[in-house]
Chain A
Amino acid sequence: MTLAIDARDLAPGFADPVFDSQSAFRAIMNAIAYPGRIERFRRPVAAPAGLSPAAATIALTLCDFETPLWLDESAATEAAVAYLRFHSGAPIVDHAGRARFCIIGGAASALPLHAFHAGEDKYPDRSATLIIEAQSLTSGAPRRWRGPGIKGERVVGVGGMKDSFWDEWTLNQTLYPLGVDVFFACGEEIVGLPRGVATEA
């Protein structure tokens, strides 16, 4: 990782930062408040190579100098790192466990969920938020989600996750009120999976 940012080929951030990020935040908040429901960004950013527009939009809406950011190998392209550092100012960290936000490009080979910060007993809000690039938000093996934000249950088919992910999620869910929170990103759409939601096949 070099310190200087090559700004020549940088993709643009929000065209109108105040209103674009407000619109994006409402979609993000709806995604976490109504888990499993697909939210589409109406004014997404043009993403650099390696990131989906949805993942880049979440990062630019929520990250800044206060939020250490970690990217896995497939997300950490030169273009993506330069883009995120330039537009968000977030420090990029090497250690997944120290990051507040983590972008995971290779869902199929991702670190286990316990590699990320789960928060502290007295401060569960300090846990990491994962942004996982999913192959699809609808065509994966359907799972039934239950928990706060869901009326009864909701069937969600996130595609491209490794087999062990949902077992790890069950473990994460047992840490409640600790645990990581997840956004699945695909194209310009996201689905939220907060720590309180239990899933089963």
Chain B
Amino acid sequence: MSGARESGYNFAYLDEQTKRMIRRTLLKALAAPGYQAPFGGREMPLAYGWGTGGIQVTASVIGPEDVLKVIDQGADDTTNAVSIRRFFQLVADVETTEATEKATVIQTRHRIPEAPLEEGQIIVYQVPQPEPLRHLEPREVETRKMHAYAEYGLMQVRLYEDIARYGHIATTYDYPVMVNGRYLMAPSPIPKFDNPKMQDNPAIQLFGAGREKRIYAIPPYTSVRSLDFEDHPFRTQSWDQRCALCDADDSYLDEVITDDRGGRMFVCSDTDYCARRRANGHVGAQGAIDPVGEKTDALSGDAQ
């Protein structure tokens, strides 16, 4: 505990009354899956949009025995992930990891790890806009009524208009889901590729929106259905390419521009998954030359 105590902050930064308030909200959110419970979001020492909601949720659940992983768009080594991991090392002195299966608490921005989650793990999503209906109905009093009476026709219309205009549902991230057959929920801006992972997941899924001051949750083994139509069933993205580094054909790929002559490559967005595959001997088309200077020792190391 020495790090936390020397820092002059309470363990995990938040005061105990705030943690109690957030903990009560989390329990009610788990009892009504997908429902957006208001909470007294606090000012955090970083700007809205950088994961203040997720940080408050993580701070309220994390303990000294936890192992924390933080990812941003799947990567453990990007700015947002590094700074949040450092924050909790400073104020909570917890062990951190990049390995998905070692983590007990995973805070994420915009991805669900490729490795399946297990019972005993908690995944905390950072949510910019918790209200899936906000772009259709700007008034909170109205959207709250729509949730209360399960009036979700408007969202089906939006998806239908996509089909009428483009021939398919064009929403590719933050793709709306029905949770436990009752609440329409924004899964945060994860790619729709990750939507099926939320369904019947053994882990506890918690969502925190700091600016909008909302918490919601999906308990383990809960139905999470992506909205669709009988004749236009929900489909995830797929790629013609494989990961250029680890040759994976089952993971979410990012397109990376490698030079100014049109050179590009597709690589796993989940850096832990990719590094693990390469450590196990999988080599992609460009895996041997390490063109983006990516860390090859991701497995050995912890946070920087």
A contact set with B: CB distance below 8 Å: 17-19, 21-23, 25-26, 28-30, 32-34, 61-64, 66-67, 121-125, 127, 129, 148-151, 176-177, 181, 194-196
Contacts and interface: CB of A to CB of B under 8 A. Distances in A.
A195 B219 CA distance: 13
B149 A62 contact: no
Contacts, number: 106
A124 B119 CA distance: 27
Interface of B: 10-11, 16-17, 19-21, 23-33, 35, 37-38, 60-64, 119, 144-145, 147-149, 180, 182-183, 200, 202, 204, 219-223
Given A33-B30, A148-B223, A181-B28, 4 more contacts: A21-B20, A28-B27, A129-B27, A176-B182
B204 A29 contact: yes
A30 B16 CA distance: 20
A78 B94 CA distance: 41
Ranked 4 nearest A-B pairs via Cβ:
A125-B28, A194-B31, A149-B219, A121-B148
Contacts of B37: 125
19 contacts: A18-B11, A21-B20, A25-B19, A28-B27, A29-B26, A30-B204, A34-B119, A34-B220, A61-B20, A61-B23, A122-B144, A125-B29, A125-B38, A148-B33, A151-B220, A177-B35, A181-B27, A195-B32, A196-B31
Q: Which of A122, A149, A194 has the most CB of B within 10 A?
A: A149
A105 B91 CA distance: 39
A196 B61 contact: no
A19 B63 contact: yes
A23 B66 CA distance: 11
Contacts of B183: 177
Q: Which of A61, A122, A148 has the most CB of B within 10 A?
A: A148
A66 B25 CA distance: 12
A63 B24 CA distance: 9
B11 A149 contact: no
A26 B145 CA distance: 32
A45 B160 CA distance: 56
Nearest to A23: B63
A151 B202 CA distance: 9
A123 B221 CA distance: 24
Nearest to B145: A122
A181 B24 CA distance: 12
B33 A196 contact: yes
B220 A149 contact: yes
A2 B220 CA distance: 44
A33 B220 contact: yes
A21 B222 CA distance: 27
Contacts of B149: 121
A67 B21 CA distance: 10
A103 to B, nearest CB: 15
